Structures are given as structure tokens and as C-alpha cells.
Amino acid sequence: MKRKLHYAWIIVFVTFLTLLAVQGVRLSFGAFIQPWEEEFSLDRGTISLISMLSFIVYGASQPLIGRLVDKFGPRIILSFSTLLVGLSIFFTYLVTTPWQLFILYGIIASLGVGGASNVASTVIVTNWFNEKRGLAFGIMEAGFGAGQMLLVPGSLMLIHWFNWKVTVIVLGIFLILIVFPIVLLFLRNDPAEKKLLPIGGANAEETKDEPSGKAKKVPYRAVFLNKKFWFLILPFFICGFTTTGLMDTHLIPFSHDHGFSTEVTSAAVSLLAGFNIIGILISGVVADRWSSRKILCFLYAVRALSLVILLTSHQPLLLLVFAVLFGLVDFATVAPTQMLATQYFRQYSVGFILGWLFLSHQIGSALGAYLPGVWYSQTGSYNPSFYLSIVILAGASILNILLPEPQKVSRIPENQTQSIKQN
């Protein structure tokens, strides 16, 4: 007999699509910089303030989103956040003054992006998977890379063929009429809503004590005094500083400063994005079979090595080697970090923990985008930023290896779980 596809894999596909669409739209911001400069007679600095405001709102929203996920469930948060982003982007075509752009994109759309992010999607995947969770996290996280590869060049082409107003209308309609209905119709918070068990069966303690997915009250003081919490938070802060902040913002100008052509720079960025997806998927699969803390130690060490290569990249070949190596370890840290968070703090509110975790990443991203630019203005070089990044990445690697191995959770097979429920 053919095995029926478990509904958990539908959940993974829908969360992948959500992140692809919403985060892909967010990453398309750079495509609109020049058109908005011309449309509103703004300079590059003012347009950059919109991006900075968006980072701040996105990051600050994460702990709040975590609490809302605990209260209303990830399905409501993901679906209506997607709708909010779609409406905000769609109505951007009506903007006539810069302050309207700050409010509509910098604040309202960014709140939606914060809701349709890792926090809610991680909670829902955690609810549906007790086995193969690393693979599920990897597929889900690949939505970021896929959105970058599809929607960023797609936006550039639409702007080139038509204009920026047509582009925001198309992106808005895509989110409102296609992605939002799919998320609302197909997502389910918990396997119990489909009268199913998670992949891997239920945890023994959940089956005996309380329903799966129901969070206990969070002892906030205990969380903030927990060494494991900070040993996850600090490396993830460093992750944000060195990836979304430093590389996504400054790799292209660094490449131009070294005299690389636009073609070589574009090839490097494309390679980085493509191998980013490969690295995400590989890390998700490996996280199911190996120690997540050892994986993170290795990934941060390789990322530091890739920056050493970048510092010496005076030939196009070395830049491309860097792009491949950095791409493989770029977002690959997310799945094992999520794994550890859900394993260490499964007795707490997962949404609360993840909210603070991704807030730290966004703070790191904001500083990683801002400080290297300031130091470049003062020194005329990105070298101080790269030296600092190599040192703190080594520190992140050490912090992760100092973490303890999470305890294994005993699980009851599906047939035994059913008999327990019946009794």
C-alpha cells in the first residue's frame, strides 16, 4: 500500500511559500532605491533611513510577535501578517510624499514582515515535527534564499520593463490574492486540528501530562538567568552582524573598491545566494543526524575562514571562492540554532524564546550595516570591520561548543499513543 503524505509536509511547503513571498519582497528594497530617489527627489542617505527604520521595527517586533503567537497561534499571525505586507506594498503606489513612504513601508509593512518571519514559522514546524525537524527547518529557511533569488531580480525586471508603481501593484496582488488565501486555508497550528500526530509521534511527557503545543507560563527571570539562553543569543547576534548586516550591505561596494567588474560582482552575489540555499538544506538534514552545537561551531569557524579569503581576494577567482564558501554557511546557522532553542527551552514558551533570539539577530544586522559604513568613512577601508568580524566569529564558535548537549526526549510511537488516549 502507498504511504499517504503526512500533512506536516504541506505545513512545511506553505511556510516556505510564505517566507519566500514576504521576505523576498523585503529583500527587494534595493531595487526601489533609485526609482524612489528620482520620484521623490531624495538623496541616498534619506532612502537608507527608510531601510534603517524597517530594520528597527522588524527587530523590535519579534518579542511581541512571539507573545502573539503564543496567544493566537502561528496560523493567524502568519496569514494576517502576509495580508498586511501585501496591502502596504500595494498601496505604496499611491504615495506622493516621502513621509508617507516612511510610514507605509518603514513601519506598517515592516510590522507585517516581522510577523511573517522565523518566529511564527518555527513554532508551527516545531508543533508538527518531533523527527526530521532539522530537515523541516532547512526547507522552511530556504524560503529566504528562494525569495532573494526570485523576487529581487523579478522586481528589477518589472521596474525596467514598466515602472516602480506597476511593480508594487504586482507584488501586492501576489501577496493578497495568492499567498494569503493559501496560508489561511492550508496552515494548521497543531496536528490535533487534523486529528493527526506529529511526525515522529508525540513526546511521552506531552502525552501523559498535557496536550502537545500548549505552552507553560514563562518564568522570565529564569530564562534571562539561563546560560544556555545567552550562549544562543550572542552567537546569533554575531550571525546577524556578519551576514544580513555586513555582507548584504557592503559586499558590493567592497568588490567595486577592489576593482572587480560589475559582471564579476554580480556573479559573486548570485553564487552566494545559490549556495546559501544549498547550505540551508544541508544544515537542516545534518542537524537531524548530528550535534547542532558542533554544527554551529563548525559553521562559524568556516565563516571566519571565508572572511580571511575575502581580505586577500585581489583576483576574481578568490572572490568567487569566497562567495561559494560564505554562501554555504550564510543562513545555514539558523536551522541548528532553532533546533537547540526548541530542545533547551521546550518547557517554556517557544514563541517568547524565539522572539528574543531573532531580535538579537536583527540588532546585529542593524549594527553590521551601520558601523562598517562609519568606519569606512573614517579609514577608507573595510578591513577593520572584517578583522572584528573574524574575531567575534571565532568567539561565536567557542560559545557554541561550550553549550551542553540537549537531553533526548522520549517519544511514544503513534500506535501506542492512540492506545494511551483511548485509555
| Same domain flag for 8 and 150 | yes
Count of the separate structural domains present in the chain: 2
CATH of the domain at 36: 1.20.1250.20
Mean pLDDT of 328-355: 80
| Same domain flag for 340 and 249 | yes
Distance separating alpha carbons of residues 409 and 414, to the nearest angstrom: 15
| Same domain flag for 161 and 221 | no
DSSP state of 162: S
- pLDDT confidence band for 359 (50 / 70 / 90): confident
Is the pLDDT confidence value at 258 over 90? no
Q: Please tell me the predicted confidence (pLDDT) of residue 207.
A: 47
| Same domain flag for 179 and 233 | no
- Give the range of the structural domain holding residue 53, as residue numbers without chain letter: 1-200
Q: From 200, 220, 250, give the residue that closes a domain.
A: 200
142-173 pLDDT per residue, tens: 888 788 778 877 887 888 788 899 999 999 99
Closest C-alpha to 312, from 397, 392, 370, 387: 387
Identity at 167, one-letter amino acid code: T
Closest C-alpha to 228, from 407, 384, 54: 407
| Same domain flag for 89 and 155 | yes
Q: From 147, 179, 200, give the residue that closes a domain.
A: 200
| Same domain flag for 65 and 160 | yes
Closest C-alpha to 119, from 361, 405, 330, 288: 361
Q: Please tell me the predicted confidence (pLDDT) of residue 397.
A: 94
Mean pLDDT of 113-124: 86
| Same domain flag for 230 and 333 | yes
Q: Please tell me the predicted confidence (pLDDT) of residue 282.
A: 87
| Same domain flag for 64 and 15 | yes
- Residue 364, exposed/middle/buried by CB under 10 A (0-12, 13-18, 19+)? buried
Q: Please tell me the predicted confidence (pLDDT) of residue 210.
A: 45
Q: From 200, 227, 251, give the residue that closes a domain.
A: 200
36-94 pLDDT per residue, tens: 878 888 775 677 677 778 878 888 887 788 888 888 888 999 999 999 999 999 999 89
pTM of the full predicted structure?
0.71
Q: Please tell me the predicted confidence (pLDDT) of residue 408.
A: 60
Q: What is the residue whose three cell numbers read 545534518?
A: 286
- DSSP assignments along 228-265, one per residue: HHHHHHHHHHHHHIIIIIIIHHHHHHHHHHTT--HHHH
Q: Please tell me the predicted confidence (pLDDT) of residue 420.
A: 38
| Same domain flag for 246 and 268 | yes
